[in-house]
Amino acid sequence: MPFSFDTTYKSVDSSLYSRVTPKRIANPKVLLLNDRLCADLGLDTAELNANVLAGQNLLEEPIAQAYAGHQYGSFTVLGDGRAMILGEHVHDGNRYDIQLKGSGRTPYSRRGDGNATVSSMLREFLYSHAMQNLNIKTSRSLAVVETDEAVRRRRTEPGAILVRVMNSHIRYGTFQYVAGQGPDELQRFTDYVIDRHYPQLNETDRTYLEFFDAVMQSSIEMVVDWLRVGFIHGVMNTDNMSVNGETFDYGPCAFMNYYDEETVFSSIDTHGRYAFGNQQRILQWNLERFAEALQPLCKQSALTHDELKGKLDEFENRFAVQYYTMMRKKLGINSDAEKELVDEFLEWLRKSNADYTNTFLELEAPGRFDDPVFATAEFERLREKLAAVGLEEEVMQDANPRYIPRNYLVEKALDEYLEAGDLSTFEELLTVLENPYTARDMGSQFQQPPRREFDAAYTTYCNT
């Protein structure tokens, strides 16, 4: 069998999911298959044909999950409107959701058609590939399968299905949905999630409190990693926040080029709620909503409201510690001091609007980039101050990627496939992002930021 399924989610209350069937596809075609992920999952690539990957040959009945979420601050009852979990694959004692995205309508589709465009699924494949290799906890893409239908979004494109792999798709919004089912069901579901993701907590005296603490810590680590590489998620709704600290749902996401904490690339984030510099604040807000969802447990266990609030009160300090530790590594400072110097450097970034990724490479080795901002007296003075206490190359190299998915290169690769059916540029970008911390050709096109005019007008879309 191509997968070894043991789907425990079907043991939770039946109101939390629906049994579904993927749409029928006459001629599915595998565009991309992630051989490395196949190996990690113990899968035989010879068995992963298009019909298996598109959900045409089923090993068991798929499910779509119900959940809720605050979308741009407004609470909504939701669910997998164009996604289905084929099953939970078990390999070497680890469990993974195998999910199809773009596989047709479900009971939660509302007005959606359940489809996905090929460009949006290729885009998610590339971004999850990049994030994995940037050492950021993330969903992973097993395959992109093109379908035989036309899907209309901003333009008409071929349809596609993404085969997505995660430790699970349980999110803050799942708990918000379950909380509405009553305290008994919330306790049963929380116990299931702890057993699945944090079994070590069953040995503690304060299991539910430690569960909230563990989710908060994994989320802080995730968002600090986003800030490390300049990633903007673009849609940090509570239904897109994993309780396991996995980055997922690569819709209107992008990487920041020129440093600006107000950077937004999403077409629907018109007020900058999820801007680069707001991601810490939004994480805190989301965790508050998660804590509210857990509050009915206070009636069922020794957990108290004051304990949850006490954990939330730790957030700002814990985030700051994690953030400054990360920034010291980016600046090659091998100590716990120099916070004021880090702040001075951040203020220079705000004023200079320099390319975020290349700035750290220029600090490592002056003269790499022909950019006037790096030739200023202020930058040279700042570099000298940093050199006196940091700029240790080995420390910096592990924190600073040489390559990120430059937005204009991503769009170029996608356009070439849509216009000419040519994946060669896309595959070249995948190859570069396979080892983003290893320099291939310093100063190459893959390290060049776009024209500022491009970035100012660049927009990403949800494509649902």
Helices (H), 230-314: 279-294, 305-313
For the segment 391-414, the average pLDDT, to the nearest whole number, is 96
Q: Which two tokens stand for residue 95?
A: 């469990």
For the segment 418-439, the average pLDDT, to the nearest whole number, is 96
Q: How far is CA 429 from the centre of its chain?
A: 19
Q: By mean pLDDT, which of 58-62, 108-112, 150-154, 369-373 is the weakest?
A: 150-154
For the segment 110-120, the average pLDDT, to the nearest whole number, is 95
Q: 115 exposed, middle or buried (CB, 10 Å; 0-12, 13-18, 19+)?
A: buried
Does position 74 have pLDDT exceeding 90, yes or no? yes
Percent of the chain past pLDDT 70, that is, above it, reads 99
Q: How many CB atoms lie within 10 A of CB 201?
A: 17
For the segment 364-378, the average pLDDT, to the nearest whole number, is 95
- Candidates 80, 97, 213, 239; catalytic one: 239
Q: Which two tokens stand for residue 281?
A: 């604040």
Percent of the chain past pLDDT 90, that is, above it, reads 94
Q: Which two tokens stand for residue 415?
A: 């356009």
> What is the pLDDT, as a whole number, of residue 351?
98
For the segment 403-414, the average pLDDT, to the nearest whole number, is 96
For 271, phi then psi, to 5°, come to -105, 5
- Cα separation, 428 vs 148, in Å, equals 26
User: pLDDT-derived band of residue 444, with 50, 70 and 90 as boundaries?
Assistant: confident
Let me know the angle formed at the C-alpha of 411 by 405 and 417, rounded to the nearest 5 degrees.
Answer: 115
> What is the pLDDT, as a whole number, of residue 3?
96
> Position 317: which residue type?
N
Predicted confidence (pLDDT) per residue in 292-351, tens digit = 999 999 877 778 889 999 999 999 999 999 999 999 999 999 999 899 999 999 999 999
> What is the pLDDT, as a whole number, of residue 416?
98
Q: Is 80 a catalytic residue?
A: no
CA distances in angstroms from 35 to 41, 86, 122, 129, 154, listed in the order given: 10, 19, 16, 12, 32
> What is the pLDDT, as a whole number, of residue 177?
98
In what helix (H) or strand (E) does residue 229 lie, and over which residues does it extend? helix 207-229
Does position 361 have pLDDT exceeding 80, yes or no? yes
In what helix (H) or strand (E) does residue 18 lie, and over which residues does it extend? strand 17-19
- HSE at residue 122, side-chain half, CA atoms within 13 A, is 28
Task: Return the bridge partners of 29, or none.
Answer: 146
Q: Mean pLDDT for the chain? A: 96
8 A C-beta contact, residue 84 and residue 58: no
- Cα separation, 401 vs 433, in Å, equals 10
CA-based nearest residue to 95, from 164, 5, 214, 219: 5
For 364, phi then psi, to 5°, come to -65, -45
Predicted confidence (pLDDT) per residue in 217-274, tens digit = 999 999 999 999 999 999 999 999 999 999 999 999 999 999 999 999 999 999 999 9
> What is the pLDDT, as a whole number, of residue 205?
84
In what helix (H) or strand (E) does residue 308 lie, and over which residues does it extend? helix 305-313
DSSP assignment, residue 367?
Answer: T
Those residues whose C-beta lies under 8 Å from the C-beta of residue 464, and which sit 6 or more positions away, are 81, 82, 112, 251
Q: Is 368 helix (H, G, I), strand (E, B) or coil?
A: coil
Q: By mean pLDDT, which of 26-30, 170-174, 223-227, 439-443 is the weakest?
A: 439-443
Name the maximum alpha-carbon separation found in the chain.
Answer: 65
> Position 462: which residue type?
C
For the segment 430-435, the average pLDDT, to the nearest whole number, is 96
Those residues whose C-beta lies under 8 Å from the C-beta of residue 441, and which sit 6 or more positions away, are none
User: pLDDT-derived band of residue 396, with 50, 70 and 90 as boundaries?
Assistant: very high
8 A C-beta contact, residue 17 and residue 63: yes
> What is the pLDDT, as a whole number, of residue 227?
98
Does position 442 have pLDDT exceeding 60, yes or no? no
Q: By mean pLDDT, which of 98-102, 355-359, 383-387, 459-463 is the weakest?
A: 459-463
- Cα separation, 305 vs 287, in Å, equals 14
Helices (H), 49-161: 50-53, 118-133
Predicted confidence (pLDDT) per residue in 177-192, tens digit = 999 999 999 999 999 9
Does position 154 have pLDDT exceeding 90, yes or no? no
Strands (E), 126-253: 140-152, 156-166, 231-232
CA-based nearest residue to 194, from 238, 138, 243, 245: 243
- Cα separation, 235 vs 227, in Å, equals 15
Strands (E), 80-215: 83-91, 94-101, 140-152, 156-166
DSSP assignment, residue 124?
Answer: H
Does position 443 have pLDDT exceeding 70, yes or no? no
CA-based nearest residue to 190, from 165, 167, 205, 172: 172
> What is the pLDDT, as a whole number, of residue 58?
93
